[in-house]
Each structure stands twice: as C-alpha cells, then as structure tokens.
Copies of this chain bind each other. A is one copy, B any other.
Amino acid sequence: MSEVYAVRRGLLRDRCAAVGSAAALVSRPANVRYLAGGAPPGSVLLLGPGGDVLLTPRAPSGDPADGRTDEQLRLSLLPGSDGDPVVAAADLAASSGAESLAVEEHHLTVSRHRAMGSVAPRLRLADLGATVEQLRVVKDEEEIACLRIAAEITDQALGELLESILVGRTERHLALELERRLVDHGADGPAFATSVATGPNSGQGRHRPSDRRVEEGDFLSVCLGANYRGYRCEIGRTFVIGTTPADWQIELYDLVFAAQRAGREALVPGAAYRDVDRAARYLLDSAGHGGGLAPWTGHGVGLEIDEDPQLAPAAMGKLDACVPVTVEPGVHLPGRGGVRIDDTLVVRPEADGGPELLTITTKELLAL
C-alpha cells in the first residue's frame, strides 16, 4: 500500500527535476494526502535532498484515515502550534543543501511565502504550479474502487429518502437526514454540503437548504455525495412531488435529461473538455436557456469534490481514460424552479464498454 505513495512522490520528483528544482514543498491538503497517504491537519510534505519528510504542527489526530501515512516517510512533529511547517520546511531544505525549492504558489499565502524567504534567504523559491493536481487527474483502480463505494453509499442514502414522506418537511431537514443516512451506510461524512431545493429553489446548482417546506406540485432537486476514505462523488436528481407532473415540468425535465445524456455520451478518451461541455450545453442553449446556465457542466472528482478537469466552454485539454467526472447540466427558471441531473462517471474506452456510471439511481422523472 505504502508503495503507491512512494511511486507518486517519485513521479513528482521527476517532474521537478525536469524543470530544474531538486526540492519541492507540497502544502495543499489534498495534495499532501495524495502523496503521503494521510494529511494530519496543517501538515506539509517536503521532498528534499535529505529524503521525504512530512512536517506536522502537532501529533496526528486519532482518525486513522487522516493520520495514516506512508512508512517510507519521515514524520517530523514541530513543537507547539507556533511553528509554521512551511517555514520549518524551508529551513530544512536549505540546511540539507537545496538551492531551490518549488512551492505551491496557488495555495501558499503571501505571508507564509515571505516567512519562508526570511528564514532561508539563499533558497530560491520557485513555483510548483498545479503539478500535483495534474498527477491526480487520472485515477488508479484503487482510487476508482473508493469512488465506486462512495457512489453506492450515496445511491443507498438517496433511495431511502425517496421511500419516506416528503411533503411538509423543510429543505434543511431533508439535507440533514440525507447526511445522516450517508454516514449510516459507511461514509466518512458528506463529500460536500448536501443541497436540497424545493419549488422555486429547485434546479439551482448549490442551493443552500432553507426552511422552505416541500409542497404538492413542487420540483424537488437534491445534490449529495459520500466521502469514502477521502474520495468524493456527487449525484443530483430532480423529482416531482404529487401524482401528476405539470406539462411544463415534463417538458423541462425531458430537455435537461436529453442534455445530460448527450454530455454522458461525449465522455470518451481523447474528447476535448470543451466538446463534452458543448454536448451537454447545446440542447439547453437551443431551447433558449443559455443565459442562465452555470459556467461549467461538469468537473473532476476525487480527493476533492471539485478537481480538474473542468468541463467548460473555455477549458483546454482532453479526457483520458480513468478520469472520473460529473455531468450536471441544469436549468433554473426564476420564480418557478427547475431541473438538475448530475452523475459521476469514469471515462473508459469504448472497448471497455464506454463511460462507467457510478451513480446508478434512476433518472426517470419520479412523482413522489
């Protein structure tokens, strides 16, 4: 198991060496976890001439998932909470002979960066950029297995909700109940703040649950996901409350369903990110809903719920196999509500059966 992390760190060292930096400091928590197998709060990972060191401001917490780290790592506990591990890392890198250190400028604050410069004035601080995020885009089968379990848990939690009485309950309560059910089924927690949107709120991307109660005739849209061993998936569904959906509801649902299917079908290795986005966006645009659409129609998932790639009109790049992404177009009509349909899928070659759908809850328009 720990070999996986050592291999990942080896890849990062290679990339750094290729741009002339023999040492790198990783501070973004998901990146630290990816490379070390665990990320105690505040810890940072130094890949330096003296080996790989995880510097942490205090002892790892009792949580095995966060505290577990690769045995091949040295673990360095800084005394007290005053010492900033990035400053200690700069000091350590300089004293072990590094001339330059690549840091995550998109994560480090200006203050911390300056403090590193003060403690190690002769160390040249370079930019590591999104190198680790790029390594994280393509998942191995063990990572995908975690996402698959996260999706199973999510489907179970959602399925149970659908069997309960919904009318009269508030968005907030339904969201809390979904989160409880995620944990019941083995999640470490929700992957992100569960969204439940009713009536005029429905169809909005990340609507924060309010005290509005579910009413007959409402659209109800939910978006939730489990965090399983750090891996996060996402599902979004829209239902109708009551026996018969109105005509406008059926029409809007069919439109978003067709758009989402088009997006899913565009998930093939080699497809440009922007072409997947266009596939999901095209039908909605043509039907006159282009103005209100979210700026993206999907995104990568993994150790974070919102990772590269972004499926958006201006995104650069092409899909690889084994990249898990969401496809989540939605339309919201102000004052009336709307529809969002959201799946997590893994890009697979056609020879392997095409995209692997992780979130398998039905996408029929259910009347609850």
Q: Which residues does A use to contact B, with CB under 8 Å?
A: 58, 61-63, 66, 80-82, 103, 105-111, 113-114, 127, 172-173, 176-177, 179-180, 183, 201, 204, 206-208, 210, 295-296, 314
Contacts and interface: CB of A to CB of B under 8 A. Distances in A.
Contacts of A127: 110-111
Contacts of A113: 110
A280 B320 CA distance: 57
A66 B110 contact: no
Copy number in the complex reads 2
Contacts of A208: 61-63, 66
A43 to B, nearest CB: 15
**For A110, A179, A208, which residue has the most chain B Cβ atoms within 10 angstroms?**
A110
Given A63-B208, A80-B295, A82-B314, A114 B105 contact: yes
A62 B335 CA distance: 12
B173 A176 contact: no
A81 B205 CA distance: 14
A210 B82 contact: no
A172 B227 CA distance: 14
Contacts of A81: 295-296
Contacts of A82: 295, 314
15 contacts: A61-B207, A62-B210, A63-B208, A81-B296, A82-B295, A105-B110, A105-B111, A106-B111, A107-B109, A108-B109, A108-B110, A173-B180, A173-B183, A176-B179, A180-B180
Nearest to A181: B176
A62 B110 contact: no
A295 B59 CA distance: 12
Contacts of A210: 62-63
Contacts of A114: 105
A237 B76 CA distance: 32
A270 to B, nearest CB: 25
Given A62-B210, A172-B183, 13 more contacts: A61-B207, A61-B208, A62-B201, A62-B207, A62-B208, A63-B208, A103-B110, A105-B110, A105-B111, A106-B110, A173-B183, A176-B176, A180-B180
Given A62-B204, A206-B61, A106 B109 contact: yes
A56 B107 CA distance: 20
Contacts of A80: 295
A180 B175 CA distance: 10
Nearest to A313: B80
**For A109, A204, A295, which residue has the most chain B Cβ atoms within 10 angstroms?**
A109
Contacts of A105: 109-111, 114
A109 to B, nearest CB: 6
A314 B82 CA distance: 9
A172 B62 CA distance: 14
A173 B184 CA distance: 8
A218 to B, nearest CB: 15
**For A108, A201, A207, A295, which residue has the most chain B Cβ atoms within 10 angstroms?**
A295
A296 B180 CA distance: 32
A109 B110 CA distance: 6
Contact of A183 (B106, B176, B207): B176
A236 to B, nearest CB: 16
Nearest to A107: B109
Contacts of A183: 172-173, 176
Contacts of A179: 176
A111 B108 CA distance: 8
